[in-house]
Structure 1
């Protein structure tokens, strides 16, 4: 009898789940019928385009402004919709995440509408068709004639791209090096860490034209219809918006504007390579230094205040407060800073700069808390007893007796934390915040130079860190003599 009763319960639960599934299935057409994606764009008056501007001639930067064929197409679409275009820059492999979390309204970044991608996002009609190529060093021209010659070789491709999948599926035994930036792949190729780079033909041609020691193998891989075209990606269910964009694309195709946009992109590329000295691009680095110092300074101030509160909470006898502080410190120290920043930006929909500053500050606060707690524990217990015997309250004892002594003990550790912050703030570049690393990548994309921007950034970081180290050492000597 009990078994029968248990079986009836199980059947009831299954019936309920099947009913819910049917309800969801029936709700989908209704959702499509009431799609408001186009209306929302027109209501807010902006169309946000997500792109990774390191892929000339599709998207790249000139004078810190995004240009290229895809940007021109996006401008025409925004004009047809009667709204203003806003371009948001991020790494290629973060673009679809940005789309799904509504950070951007569409992705225009030479993206191929593969069946796998179609499962999570909607695509427009194909607006441009290009072949696939492999970039190699000129010295290897006699070795490689076809993609088949790369069997068991190390081949590079942009992470999350169609080319990455093509290498994986069609080159037997290939060891794939996936990087988020094509400029980094070019460096890897020139330094012989990889033997070739799989890229779209238009992109491969652009890079080879500006790197005389490289050449390109055209018309590579066995391509299906879905492997040779690029389209615009939208959030799933954006039926009305996709339909409106397809009308614009049909107009662009009819007027043959794509070739015009490609020609304009070619002229813009010449502007970038007219003067590729690092001094010419000094404004990029200056802007990056400004943002790096701003993020680090705000993060330090918040981190010290937060760390002090967390340390005192962990030393508190009020157990709930102690448990919360301990859980926070352990969780933050147990997860990577990059994941924390990306969760704030994508998961909680926090603006990029705010997410970057908050993520770095919250992370620093957890480490500062442990430094302060260790410093307080290092102060002899007799100091506390003497202060209390003189009638000082717990608050005054901490403020006037314990914390000043603890600060002297932990100052070297705090100094190391401040120095680390300047370098760790580079993590924010993954969500498009304009720090020094982000600007460095823009210079790489604009000049086609890989090593020189890294060298400049290294020197800048050294100057910042060396100057801060001298300042912290001076402050430490002053405290020791106080």
Structure 2
């Protein structure tokens, strides 16, 4: 029974993922009308890729800016709707479009044939080209594609650059990461020899970091591999047609040149003051969301874990089997996958905000581990205690409430406290769906300031302070329980 339930849960997961595209596709003649009816154009972006899209702190205000943002503002204006940006990791932006979380995606996206199988694309609005970032000390050593054979090449996961490095550089060891900021740090610390990147972004890094240089890729590419376009849900013909009118005007008036110039101004503002104190608001917001997610998840996780633990001790074989199946399934799948499934999968039925999705996923995950902790605590209570309570005429429910659980709590408090501390750190995974927690803000600061190490160090100190304070509080209550009669 337990095995069957576990298998059923797994099948439901994969069926849900495979059916996402079919459940959320727009009818071709309704996509444009859908946007006009709701009055907003929701765009999935990854704002850590200057000069395409990045965050800028100017006059006390934080804004997402860049060439692509200007392009989308122009398109939204032409459509007569408001622009709404939805931030997330780059390798999720196309998933967001496919699953209906966003109406379109932008971010230096190359409309390759493989991507066209999953989404529709607008006409190409900008041709940036491909380059490599290298350390300035290696400028004479590396000159292009051929010179990088058998070297370590860094690329952003889910990008065209990843496929190009894999297929066009003989013997290359390709290392993929989610964030371009992580790749730049890997380059500067000599973990990789070169970083495959769009030419405008390479130029942005070189202008703002004297330790870096750029070289041409040397790739022989088609227009689809050098140009960038906007991605839409498959079958959004009327919407794509309307957007292409704006793209045609952008190209005719060469507006991207002006948009790039504007992006350069914001980049200069960002690098005027790159001290971490200047970005304290980013870290403060990250702390706020990290604590919200952790606090709510602790409450829900403990409640769910207690329920699951009691279900495991229930006389009903059905309840017992459900509890075991749930615990085994959750513990057998990565938290990252669970977060993505709640946001992109379950969110199809109910369009859940990123923050709520993150809280739900982290809470459900924590509940499974808390259940095992509580189960161990209950088993640690001597049978003589329950026998004595039974002889006094206590009912099963009262026995658990007044005899077993209070003693079990003392036994499990250290393990439970460790779960609470881990929860603060594990909640960082929600940054992949755009929740502005501490890790998300850390990556934004790194992208804005072109400083790879210091923002990481600041975040590390903040996490230590948070967990240290929580540990001291937990230890205080542990000592009180030990001295309680």
In the alignment, which residue of structure 2 is the partner of 1:119?
117
In the alignment, which residue of structure 2 is the partner of 1:83?
81
Question: 2: CA distance between counterparts of 1:357 and 1:34?
Answer: 35
Question: 1: CA distance between counterparts of 2:419 and 2:390?
Answer: 32
Partner SS state of residue 111, structure 1:
coil
Say whether residues 1:62 and 2:64 are aligned partners: no
- Which among 419, 423, 439 is matched to residue 421 of structure 1? 423
What are the superposed Cα offsets for residues 326-381 of structure 1, whole Å, 9 maximum, x if unpaired? 11111111111111110000011132111100111111111111111111111111
Q: Which moved more, 1:335-344 or 1:156-165?
A: 156-165
What are the superposed Cα offsets for residues 95-149 of structure 1, whole Å, 9 maximum, x if unpaired? 1111100111011111011111111111100100112111111111121112210
**Residue 433 of structure 1, CA deviation:** 0.5
Question: 1: CA distance between counterparts of 2:289 and 2:36?
Answer: 33
Say whether residues 1:319 and 2:317 are aligned partners: yes
- Which among 265, 268, 283 is matched to residue 266 of structure 2? 268
Say whether residues 1:194 and 2:192 are aligned partners: yes
Partner SS state of residue 407, structure 1:
helix
Partner SS state of residue 373, structure 2:
helix
Question: 1: CA distance between counterparts of 2:222 and 2:244?
Answer: 22
Task: Kindly report which structure 2 residues correspond to 1:92-111, keeping only aligned pairs within 5 A, or say none.
Answer: 92-111=90-109
In the alignment, which residue of structure 2 is the partner of 1:7?
none
Q: Is the 8 A contact 2:308 2:368 kept in 1?
A: yes
Q: Which moved more, 1:379-388 or 1:416-425?
A: 379-388
**Residue 256 of structure 1, CA deviation:** 2.3
Question: 1: CA distance between counterparts of 2:291 and 2:98?
Answer: 32
TM-score calculated relative to the size of structure 2: 0.92
In the alignment, which residue of structure 1 is the partner of 2:132?
134
Question: 2: CA distance between counterparts of 1:220 and 1:163?
Answer: 13
What are the superposed Cα offsets for residues 412-459 of structure 1, whole Å, 9 maximum, x if unpaired? 000100000000000101111111000000100110111000000110
Say whether residues 1:454 and 2:456 are aligned partners: yes
- Which among 239, 244, 251 is matched to residue 242 of structure 2? 244
**Residue 297 of structure 1, CA deviation:** 0.4
- Which among 459, 462, 465 is matched to residue 463 of structure 1? 465
Q: Is the 8 A contact 1:32 1:239 kept in 2?
A: no
Partner SS state of residue 278, structure 2:
coil
**Residue 218 of structure 1, CA deviation:** 2.7
Question: 1: CA distance between counterparts of 2:87 and 2:478?
Answer: 42
Q: Which moved more, 1:262-271 or 1:218-227?
A: 218-227
TM-score calculated relative to the size of structure 1: 0.92
Say whether residues 1:332 and 2:334 are aligned partners: no
**Residue 65 of structure 1, CA deviation:** 1.8
- Which among 469, 472, 475 is matched to residue 473 of structure 1? 475
In the alignment, which residue of structure 1 is the partner of 2:4?
none
**Residue 185 of structure 1, CA deviation:** 0.5
What are the superposed Cα offsets for residues 282-329 of structure 1, whole Å, 9 maximum, x if unpaired? 110010001101100000000111111110010010111111111111
Partner SS state of residue 243, structure 2:
helix
- Which among 20, 25, 48 is matched to residue 42 of structure 2? 48
Distance 1:335 1:33, change over 3 A: closer
Question: 1: CA distance between counterparts of 2:71 and 2:276?
Answer: 31
Partner SS state of residue 433, structure 1:
coil
Partner SS state of residue 280, structure 1:
helix
**Residue 34 of structure 1, CA deviation:** 5.4
In the alignment, which residue of structure 1 is the partner of 2:10?
none
Q: Which moved more, 1:417-426 or 1:63-72?
A: 63-72
Name stretches of at least 5 consecutive residues in structure 1 with no aligned partner: 1-27
In the alignment, which residue of structure 1 is the partner of 2:161?
163
Partner SS state of residue 328, structure 1:
helix
The one of the two structures with greater contact order (alpha-carbon pairs below 8 A, sep at least 6) is 2
Question: 2: CA distance between counterparts of 1:150 and 1:258?
Answer: 31
In the alignment, which residue of structure 2 is the partner of 1:214?
212
Partner SS state of residue 388, structure 1:
helix
Question: 2: CA distance between counterparts of 1:68 and 1:472?
Answer: 45
**Structure exhibiting the larger radius of gyration computed from Cα positions:** 1
Question: 1: CA distance between counterparts of 2:218 and 2:344?
Answer: 36
Q: Is the 8 A contact 2:28 2:238 kept in 1?
A: no
Partner SS state of residue 100, structure 2:
coil
**Residue 219 of structure 1, CA deviation:** 5.3
**Residue 225 of structure 1, CA deviation:** 2.2
Task: Kindly report which structure 2 residues correspond to 1:33-44, keeping only aligned pairs within 5 A, or say none.
Answer: 35-44=29-38
Q: Is the 8 A contact 1:131 1:220 kept in 2?
A: no
Question: 1: CA distance between counterparts of 2:392 and 2:26?
Answer: 75
Distance 1:160 1:206, change over 3 A: same
RMSD: 1.3
Q: Is the 8 A contact 1:56 1:206 kept in 2?
A: yes
In the alignment, which residue of structure 1 is the partner of 2:280?
282
